[in-house]
Amino acid sequence: MAYSTFPAYTEDITVAGALLADRIGRLFESVAGKAPLKRIDLESLPNLTIKVEKVQLIDRFTNRSLVGTLYVTTTHVIFIADDHSKEIWVLHGLIGSVERGSMTAAGCPLTITCKNFLILSLKIARDRDCQDLLETLQMCSRPVNVEEVFAFSYVRPGAEKDLSAGTSSEWTAIDLDAEFRRQGVDNKWKMVDFNGEYQYCDTYPRRLMVPSAASTQTLIGSCQFRSRARLPVLTYWHRANSAAICRCAQPLTGFSARCVEDEQLMDHIAKANAHCGVLHLVDTRPRVNAMVNKVQGKGFEDERNYTNMRFHFFDIDNIHVMRGSLQKLVDACHRMRTVTEFWKGVESSGWLRHVREVLKCAGFLSDSVARGISCVVHCSDGWDRTAQTISVAQLLLDPYFRTIDGFRTLVEKDWLAFGHKFLDRCGHAGGASEEASKEFSPVFTQFLDVVWQVMCQYPRAFEFHERFLIEVHDHSHSGQFGTFLGNCDKDRMDLRLTTRTECLWAHLDRKRDDYLNPTYQPGKFSVLVPDTRAQAIHFWRSMYNRFDDGIIPRESIDQVAIVTLEHVGVLEAHHTALQARIAELKAAMGRRASLADSGHSSGGGGVISSAVGDNNQTATLGKSSSCWDAESGVYDTTNSNSLLMLDEPELSAVAVRWRSLRGVVDCQACAAHFGATDRRLHCYRCGSIFCRRCLETNADARLCKNCADEIRPTSPLVTSTVVVP
Amino acid sequence: MELAEAIERSRVNDVFLRKGPRTPQPGSLALTGHHLIFSPAVDAATAARSPNAHVDELWLLHSAVDRVASEAISRDNPSKGGLLTLKCKNFMMCVFEISKLDDCEAVARSIETLSNLNDVRLEYPFFYRCSFTVLDDGWTAFDAEQEFARLQVRSDAWRLSFVNKDFRVCPSYPEAVIVPKGIGDDYLRSSASFREDGRFPVLSYYHRDTRSSILRCSQPLVGPNGRRSKEDEAILNSLLGAAAKGYIIDTRSLNAANSARSRGGGSEPKQNYSRWSYVHRPVPRWKELHDALSKLVEACNDSSASSDRWLSKLGGCGWLQAVADTLTCACVVAQCVDREGSDDSRETEVPVIVHGAEGTDSTLLVTSLSTLLLDADARTVRGFEGLIEREWIAAGHPFWLRCAHGAYATGAITGPFEAPTFLLFLDCVWQVYQQFPCSFEFTEEFLIFLFEHAYASEFGSFLGNCEKEKAEYGIKKSTVSLWSFVNNPDVLQKFFNALYEPNESPLWPCVAPQSIMLWERLFLRWQRDWTHADGAQATVMQWKSREKELQSKVLVMRRQLVELSKEAQLYQQTQLINSLQVSDH
């Protein structure tokens, strides 16, 4: 198996791609325009396809231009300013569209619009170059076949061995069984395998949770009555009152058709909730859309045919409307010059209205469930609007989904497992055909936007920060990781992604502390009630305008907060260590610790520390105090002579003052430029600010290279014969 | 007029608070000369449990009420009682159900009269008895002489002139003003006669780094006949000194300036002021602002609005545009002062003159904001107080006229002179604050506090329209200054920003449309539940203070540790010597 999985296609270009990927992987960790390297010799890269010099990069706001060179490799588009003041790296997967204008005296305009909302306005001196670029980029950005996506050639630095062995240890499959156990689903529900080979529904996972009372016959009957056989199955069970959220696709009712099995299944779902016989059936589409579907033999359930069912429509528009809407929003936030024009643009895009509709529907679902009423949700195929609304509803209901791991579970379950068509919606493959462009839609982006709206309203209820959402968003489009490839579970199985690509979650996990929300208070919030008034829906500036440096505030409370949190953790540990050390010295000298004044002065601090400390992140962010105790314990037992060392490592182990974030625009070691929302990391010892690559991070410290070198030789190895009584 | 005459009912029972800053509850209303007091109904059991129940009373200053309305609960059946709606200047709404319709109407009439007093001396600050010891008298904390003494350390190009003694030259200026050193009082008098309302050019801000200065005045009375004043020209030219050129920033558009000329005003003509560059940077006139604010507040209160309606009102009401325009103009002025000088290696000073028409609204907006951007001191609590005292109160912004009403009404008695100019200033400050939350010593709470006190207050700082009126009415003698209250350490504590790190460099805020935000804390203050946002903020502040605490503790302990190791070393040596001695024997 190990051999069969690897190079099924060892064409030269792949090898070259892997080589480059490896190099790039070392140079920069992520996809989007980070620019860590200064003097890399790009021309020596093995797979450079085009190089164009004297390209002007135009700043939309100031109209100033920056001259540089544009490189196109098999994986990236890279712009490097001649004065090295700016470098932009864009993965092909992130390129949304490329357009050129007609030749002018100043050059030929070329605009690259990226899926992460970066827009590069370029002017190319020669018409011919411009045309070449246009054609190449259009080809690169839309591979026809999914196996041409970067993920299949990307090798995580240090993972070459894993991959050649055919195993990537980092993939951990989401286990739906475990998730339902976590939810505490009771015996009114059962896991069934009738779809074990995807034979009934190829866009659902193999194992499905259905009412225990439903027979396989009923399930198969219901399959046949539902669009794409997506029958109603359980996705969330509310422990507090055993109300459930089920999802499905629209029924094939046409004008009058009905299906006894389907009606039975609905009845079973309603009855699985012992406390309440009523079932809310939510169609997220506007009524008109649902009516139109009737003509095509689909449609919605007739309330009269189902017992105890209440039917609700919501006004969430379809994927085509959303595509146009986001397009207009992005136009508005990139073109409009005055406040009045900008808001007019935002209004006419309708994006905030759509976001609000999704939130309203999710709010309705969570409210119903919180009141003990089970809900069945569908839209047309049940993989776009349904995924959005039920996942937001779950986020509102269950605090677990507001943690990093929980959010992953949510995305894996309701988006990946239940067949949100990421491949089509994010345009990973499919070439530049018209069909492909019709399938493209920012449904997942919109979901993240809604999550962000809730985060704004409940800033303490989420373990993650908006940076996490943005990162997930970018990688859902980038094609660097296998996680979001394919349209459904079955696709991903067929592509053997777990053995041929890297897993996004593992990648994010390595930078987990980047994504923590400093104000998170675990356990404080249970069910969230969103404010769905128009005034409560905001424009997500740090998403759609994040590459416009000036627009993102230069001082951010969040940045300061996370740094403070980390520093407090470090200082807290240091404080404990010092205390222990002082006590130790005193004991060694035969004094009573009770004489110590410091021991008392910290008593008052302890109260505050425990008050603040219910936010348990101190331990995860800072050095855990236990390791310090251990360290001082070592001193105590092995040698007492170290007591005499005046250059105590403790004294310099931690910088009391950390460098202020103000005015720090790049890493102090490699001079890589920080993006407006990138996290700035401090070296614990010297307190200077670095990028992640320039810090050595281990379980209890982050050290810059200098500090790490300084510390190494002074490890306590001294032996002594003198024993202090 | 005696205030008591206006009170028809001093107490009304059987009242239900339907909407307001408290949860809906029954109670009673009482009216005094300056307050409306709502006391929650207390049943015997609660009264026994908490004898201090009166602390739950809701006291509302009459002057804080913007608009009063009284209507029958049911049109067909007046016996059902009336609804008393109070729309306040801080955008709060209170609705009371009163069981008798005539009671309701009587209370409404009284509040209407009492909230529209046209005699300053009847206002509450004259009756307010100071409940705290004044440690630092706000009336004397920011006087011109101290200000000048500080300036003199930095530059000797200026002098303090008392030409306006007894407010004879310019009624809206204070008695002492700072003017260029080489200019005599007679020149100032001539210039005053050439400028609207006598507002001759005076120093507003001196920027130490580039030795540039911002001056303000009112428009020159050029008029259709092209009047000129040699003295005025001399004053301006004296500012140039070594500088090649200066800037005159007009806060009106070119059209507005031209049409002002036909009415006797105008702008400095190029031929007479040849070394000055003239820049038009239109900032909304005060008359437009009131309308913009009313529309915005109405939109904010409309909780059933669709997204489209809300967004079209938010963008279309003109308030955010006004904020953007004002900030842009302030940035231009600040840039003239800071960048012009420093980019050039010559380091020449650049004088900037700012004026609009009267020089009491948009001019002050621009000069005070530019100062805030340039001067790190102005971003401290005390510096900000000084800025408001100097650039708004002493500079003659007609607070009494402008703040007579807020978003809900225009004054019938006081005349239509209302304009939220000062609120616009605070909003602009907030915009800068939200972009630089670590560069301000205070939080937005302070700004909201100032907003409320500008409109209705127990303190005298914002009473009257200028220093002259302050003197005439004896405001400084008979009332307490707002700053006396704020500078109490206990009060000050509430406004401090734990994230503050002094920032010496000028701030350059972004004025792109996406950066101009709605000040939700202010405009949606009564619509939204702020506990979560407050909680998050409090958490951050808590972390920050814990960090500071730990830092100082760690330093102390390190010192202690060093001393202890020295002692230990000594101790060990003696032990060693002892043991050697023992083995010697």
CA distance B570 to A28: 53
Contact assignment for B514 to A545 by CB distance below 8 Å: yes
Query: What is the Cα gyration radius of chain B?
Result: 29
Contact assignment for B547 to A564 by CB distance below 8 Å: yes
Q: If you average pLDDT over residues A345-364, what whole number do you get?
A: 97
pLDDT class of A636 with cuts at 50, 70, 90? very low
pLDDT tens sequence across A206-215 = 999 999 999 9
- The yes-or-no verdict on residue A159 having pLDDT over 70 is no
pLDDT tens sequence across A106-133 = 889 999 999 999 999 999 999 999 999 9
A379 a catalytic residue: yes
Contacts of A331 in chain B (CB under 8 A): none
ipTM of the complex: 0.93
Residue A318 assigned ligand-binding role: yes
Share of chain A above pLDDT 70, in %: 82
Contact assignment for A459 to B550 by CB distance below 8 Å: no
- The yes-or-no verdict on residue A594 having pLDDT over 60 is no
Q: Residue B50 has what pLDDT?
A: 65
Share of chain A above pLDDT 90, in %: 55
| A336-358 CB burial, b ≥16 within 10 A, e <16 | bebbbebbbbbbbbbbbbbbbbb
Residue A642 assigned ligand-binding role: no
CATH code for A3-141?
2.30.29.30
Residue A582 assigned ligand-binding role: no
CB-defined contacts A:B, below 8 A: 223
pLDDT class of A475 with cuts at 50, 70, 90? very high
pLDDT tens sequence across A520-554 = 999 999 999 999 999 999 999 999 998 887 788 88
CA distance B444 to A123: 44
Tell which residue, B142, B158, B147, B236, has the closest CA to residue B190: B236
From the number of C-beta atoms within 10 Å of its C-beta (0-12, 13-18, 19+), residue A359 rates as buried
Angle between helical axes of A319-335 and A351-370 (0-180°, round to 10)? 130
Tell which residue, B221, B343, B325, B240, has the closest CA to residue B283: B325
- B96 forms beta bridges with B17, B84
Q: Phi/psi of residue A284, each to 5°?
A: -75, -5
Q: Which two tokens stand for residue B181?
A: 């050193």
Residue A350, min C-alpha distance to chain B (Å) = 7
**Closest to B324 (Cβ–Cβ): which among A339, A346, A581?**
A339
Contact assignment for A651 to B562 by CB distance below 8 Å: yes
- The yes-or-no verdict on residue A610 having pLDDT over 90 is no
Closest chain A residue to the Cα of B317, Cα to Cα: A340
Residue A452 assigned ligand-binding role: no
Domain A555-586+644-725 classification at class level: alpha beta
Closest chain B residue to the Cα of A338, Cα to Cα: B513
Contact assignment for B554 to A571 by CB distance below 8 Å: yes
pLDDT class of B10 with cuts at 50, 70, 90? very high
CA distance B380 to B376: 7
Residue A553, min C-alpha distance to chain B (Å) = 5
Q: Which of residues 294-313 of B touch A (CB under 8 A)?
A: 300, 303-312
**Closest to A551 (Cβ–Cβ): which among B514, B547, B554?**
B514
By the 8 A CB rule, do A346 and A539 touch? yes
pLDDT tens sequence across A691-725 = 888 888 887 788 998 888 887 754 443 333 333 33
Tell which residue, A389, A510, A485, A482, has the closest CA to residue A429: A485
pLDDT tens sequence across B233-279 = 999 999 987 777 899 999 999 999 999 999 999 999 999 999 999 99
- The yes-or-no verdict on residue A2 having pLDDT over 60 is no
Contacts of A565 in chain B (CB under 8 A): 543
Contacts of A537 in chain B (CB under 8 A): 307
**DSSP letters along A621-632, please?**
HS--HHHHHHHH
**DSSP letters along A179-200, please?**
HHHHHT--TTEEEE-TTTTSSS
Q: Quick check: helix, strand or coil at residue B21? A: coil
**Closest to B499 (Cβ–Cβ): which among A545, A548, A557?**
A557
Residue B356, min C-alpha distance to chain A (Å) = 22
Q: Quick check: helix, strand or coil at residue B212? A: strand
Higher pLDDT, B2 or A428: A428
Q: Which two tokens stand for residue A684?
A: 């614990």
The domain ranges of chain A are 3-141, 176-552, 555-586+644-725
pLDDT tens sequence across B76-106 = 888 889 999 999 999 999 999 999 999 999 9
Residue A383 assigned ligand-binding role: yes
Residue A662 assigned ligand-binding role: no
Contacts of A356 in chain B (CB under 8 A): 307
Contact assignment for A724 to B307 by CB distance below 8 Å: no
- The yes-or-no verdict on residue A563 having pLDDT over 90 is yes
Give whole-number Cα distances, A212 to A218, A239, A308, A582, B468, in Å.
11, 17, 19, 64, 86
pLDDT class of A581 with cuts at 50, 70, 90? confident
Choose the catalytic residue: A223, A259, A375, A379: A379
Q: Which of A317-326, A518-527, A611-620 has the lowest mean pLDDT?
A: A611-620
**Closest to B551 (Cβ–Cβ): which among A342, A343, A657?**
A657
Q: Quick check: helix, strand or coil at residue A123? A: strand
Is the torsion defined by CA of A449, A453, A456, A458 positive or negative? negative
Residue A409, min C-alpha distance to chain B (Å) = 26
Q: Residue B536 has what pLDDT?
A: 93
Q: What is the DSSP letter of B216?
A: E
CA distance B349 to B180: 14
Residue A319 assigned ligand-binding role: yes
Q: What is the DSSP letter of B348?
A: -
Q: Which two tokens stand for residue B337?
A: 């002062």
Q: Which two tokens stand for residue B108?
A: 């409404």
**Closest to B307 (Cβ–Cβ): which among A537, A561, A644?**
A537
pLDDT tens sequence across B130-169 = 888 888 899 999 988 999 999 999 999 999 999 999 999 9
CA distance A397 to A371: 11
**Closest to B321 (Cβ–Cβ): which among A339, A608, A615?**
A339
Contact assignment for B553 to A601 by CB distance below 8 Å: yes
Q: Which of residues 420-479 of B touch A (CB under 8 A)?
A: 434-439
Contact assignment for A567 to B547 by CB distance below 8 Å: yes
Q: Which two tokens stand for residue A126?
A: 């020669």
Q: Residue A647 has what pLDDT?
A: 53
- The yes-or-no verdict on residue A10 having pLDDT over 50 is no
- B279 forms beta bridges with B249
